């Protein structure tokens, strides 16, 4: 009776995969990198928006807000929601700007541009 080869432990296989990915960072799928970048921008912005929401509306009552001399005709929950999304948009812009400025020149240069954007075409 033949012996079957022993299965390798899953831990060793995952360690080898992690090592291969670390050696070749460009081997990751572009969608995975884009998703990771998006979450690196959106998650801290979400937390900052939560903190700003707590701080601002702990001091400001939405019923007392006025725009151009007129009281806002929105329920409190709508003001809270609009305030949160406004804070979140501002924080996303700040986080995205930081992510853009943290890129190295090599990362900027490896990004493909639109077709024909900087290409010099020779005639004839």
**pLDDT tens by residue, the chain, 124 residues:** 667 666 555 666 677 766 766 665 555 576 777 888 899 999 999 999 999 999 999 999 888 888 888 888 889 999 999 999 999 999 999 999 999 898 888 888 876 666 555 555 555 5
* The pair of three-digit structure tokens given for residue 110, joined into one six-digit string: 């490896």
Cβ atoms of residues 62 and 76 within 8 Å: yes
pLDDT at 115: 59
> What 3-state class would DSSP assign to 103?
coil
DSSP strand E in 12-84: where? Answer: 66-67, 70-71
């Amino acid at each position: 009776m033949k012996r079957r080869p022993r299965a390798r432990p899953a831990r060793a296989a995952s360690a080898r995969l992690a090592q291969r990915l670390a050696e070749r960072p460009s081997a990751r799928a572009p969608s995975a990198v884009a998703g990771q970048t998006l979450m690196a921008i959106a998650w801290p912005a979400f937390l900052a928006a939560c903190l700003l929401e707590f701080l601002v509306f702990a001091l400001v009552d939405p019923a007392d807000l006025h725009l151009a001399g007129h009281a806002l005709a929105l329920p409190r929950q709508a003001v809270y929601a609009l305030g949160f999304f406004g804070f979140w948009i501002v924080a996303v812009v700040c986080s995205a700007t930081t992510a853009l400025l943290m890129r190295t020149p090599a990362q900027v240069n490896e990004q493909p541009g639109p077709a024909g954007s900087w290409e010099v075409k020779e005639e004839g």
